[in-house]
Amino acid sequence: MKDCLVLASIASRKSIAVAKSIKELLKLRVIGVAHTNHPHVFSRYFDKVHIVRVDRSNIRWVYAVLGIAEEHHCRAVLPIDFVDFYMFSKHSKLFEELSIILISPPHESIVVASNRVKCWETLGGIANFPSQLLLEREDNIENVYRLRPPLVVKNLGDNSNPTFHLDYETAIKDALSRAPVLVQEYVEGIARGYYALAFNGTPLLEFTHQRIIEYTPIGGASLGAQGVVKDPRLFELGRKIIKKLKWNGVIMVETRYSDEKGIYYVIELNPKFWGSIDLPETLGYKFSALLVALHLYGYNYALKLKKKLKVRNSSFVWLLDALRYIPKMPKVWLKLVNICMRSPTQCDIDLTDMPRCIDQTLKAFQRFKREKNNWIQYLDRSREQLKIWLDRYRKFLLNPSRVVVIDFDATLVRLPIDWNSVRRSLIKEGIIYPWESINRALTRYWLTDKELYHKLSELVKHYEFSALNNIEVIIPLKLIEKLRERTKICIATKQPVEIVINTFKSLGTKNIFDNIVGRDSSWGPIKTTLFKKCVELCNAEEAIVIDDKIDYLIDAYRLGYTPILATSNSYLVAKSYRLGIPSGEPEKIINMLLEHTLSYATKEP
């Protein structure tokens, strides 16, 4: 008889990828245990399924899974979700007494990795974390004022339940209502993860990914992701962490990457299977099978299996899981459909596992009303923060010493440049690293080597000049001229000033801006510097900043300016709205400013 393994709980989207990996590579019988009725109980990837309706945080769950393992004469139990890892490892002696192998890190390791404060204290010397503090009671409220809004309030454990705040008062009120909590400065950036299967603090198998779409626009598990992210700094960060923790087992390091700063901020560690496990598994990175092999057959056997793996790069979308977007943002779901159509095997629709897929689809449709209500709550939670933004907006309208700072490319106009092609050319010439963006390279050289900075800037300018004959105007220039009658306007752009001036010449118009600050203005390419120079040159006391990048707008808010996101992307609109930052199409933003600057003397905006 084949060796037998119990997976618990399979009422988790991760369980299918885990079961497939183990069956394909190790040919084991897989027994699934679910704590509730779930589409996965119909999957063909489980040889036998048990449903045990008990609270997984109760020891009865441990006894139930052990009983099923004994019934089927299984050698080992593999947890799936965090609560499974936590509870089984906590009661690991029960497994030892029955000679059943528990495939899990030690309980003490899980506690350290999952506790945000302990993790921060342990890894602070080797990893960057958002500026943050532990708020336990009212007597350390004053410390919150050392942080810079926007702020995030999070629970300490696996269920972080984050809330977002543009001011101190709402953040403190929320934090005290559920203390102890972690209060962090919000970090905007590219969501990237480092995965590892480690043995004694050394990675046996590694993978990195980047999220495309998340459960909600502000964050959550992946609904679309791609990998591998070939940035050696991310691999280096992950390796340092698992070495410091002397980690054994699977772990994910969740980060936010600031492209301009070139910094990876550690958001949390996940000492369990991660929600996007399907992505590496379908690309040949068989984490699940190697983990089981390591525990059942030893390190050398697992190492031999690893050497046989054939891996590749691609994306994966959870199309069935993403049905939740249909009642709220159908365009997001259609975007994932397009990705799935390009790579049909890289999504969670499995034609060989139709009973599970059909049940999952039916349950998704049944949840539509609940999803819509959740979406309404998501939007409602933003209203209080929008009121805070509105207070700052009123100050701008009331102050005659003001300036509108506006981005150039993708906000005022659109330069028809294939930036991916430009980047490949620059990599080929050896002037930027294969893993970095042009934006990051410009900032890096500005801070380290001015000569190379100017060389790169000139190379990029060649492509920018070639695009001048086909520029698309996003905001009609007549609107800009009207707005300039009521407020000063300054362009803050990563393009050279020369490109901006020649753009308006090609459009047959004069310079209609008070100032233009670009990457060649002797102040470099860093957006916060460009914003500040605009305000300084215009001698303004209040400023509105219009940009198409949320991370730059977060920086603008921390400088005391009033940010507005320029975009027609509904996903980004919902994300910025949750932070309390309004957004819209650039032309509509200018029309709003025209209306309010004209009428504010007699009525509220």
Residue 265 belongs to domain with CATH number: 3.30.470.20
Q: 182 and 201: one domain?
A: no
Q: Are residues 39 and 154 in the same domain?
A: no
Query: Does residue 442 belong to any structural domain of this protein?
Result: no
SS3 529: helix
- Average the pLDDT over each of 112-121, 414-423, 523-532 and give the range with the smallest value: 112-121
Q: Does residue 604 register a pLDDT over 70?
A: no
The percent of residues in the chain predicted with pLDDT above 70, rounded, is 99
Among 35, 38, 43, residue whose Cα is nearest residue 17: 43
pLDDT at 484: 94
Range of the domain at 147: 131-186
Per DSSP, 409 falls in state B
Is 526 in contact with 493 (CB distance < 8 Å)?
Answer: no
Model confidence pLDDT, tens digit, residues 128-144: 999 999 998 887 899 99
| Residue 1 clears pLDDT 60, i.e. is over it | no
Amino acid at 320: L
Alpha helices (H) along 327-411: 330-342, 354-366, 368-398
Mean pLDDT of 24-32: 97
For residue 346, pLDDT beyond 50: yes
H or E element at residue 565: strand 562-566
- Domain assignment present for 371: no
- Residue 238's pLDDT is what? 98
> Can you give the pLDDT at residue 605?
43
From 30-34, 162-166, 598-602, the region with the lowest mean pLDDT: 598-602
When pLDDT is averaged across residues 259-277 and rounded to a whole number, the result is 95
Tokens of 289: 């099978």
- H or E segment at 15? helix 14-26
The verdict on residue 534 lying in a domain is yes
Residue 460, in any domain of the structure: no
Q: Are residues 88 and 210 in the same domain?
A: no
Decide which of 122, 157, 186 is a domain's last residue: 186
Q: Which two tokens stand for residue 92?
A: 């690991």
Query: Does the pLDDT of residue 271 top 70, yes or no?
Result: yes
CATH number at residue 48: 3.40.50.20
What local confidence, expressed as pLDDT, does residue 442 receive? 98
How far apart, in whole angstroms, are the C-alpha atoms of residue 518 and residue 503? 14
**Apex CA 158: angle with CA 152 and CA 159, to 5°?**
60
What's the whole-number mean pLDDT along residues 470-476?
Answer: 94
Model pLDDT, residue 151: 97
What percentage of the chain exceeds 90 in pLDDT? Answer: 90
Quickly tell me which residue has 């949320």 as its tokens.
550
Distance CA 245, CA 200 (A): 9
Helix H, strand E, coil C: the string for 151-210 is EEEECCCCCCCCEEECCHHHHHHHHHHCCCEEEEECCCCEEEEEEEEEECCEEEEEEEEE
Q: Is the pTM of this model over 0.75?
A: yes
- The mean pLDDT value of the chain amounts to 95
Output the six-digit token pair for 100. 């059943």
Band of pLDDT at residue 507, cut at 50, 70 and 90: confident
Per-residue pLDDT tens digits for 373-401: 989 988 888 888 999 999 999 999 999 99
As given in the structure block, the two tokens for residue 10 are 């399979």
Instruction: Give the pLDDT of residue 231.
Output: 97
Rounded CA-CA distance 158/81 in Å is 10
Contact between residue 404 and residue 544 where contact means Cβ atoms under 8 Å apart: yes
- The answer as to whether 421 is a domain residue is no
Q: To which residue do tokens 């906590």 refer?
A: 90
Do 21 and 66 have their domain in common?
yes
Domain tally, the chain: 5
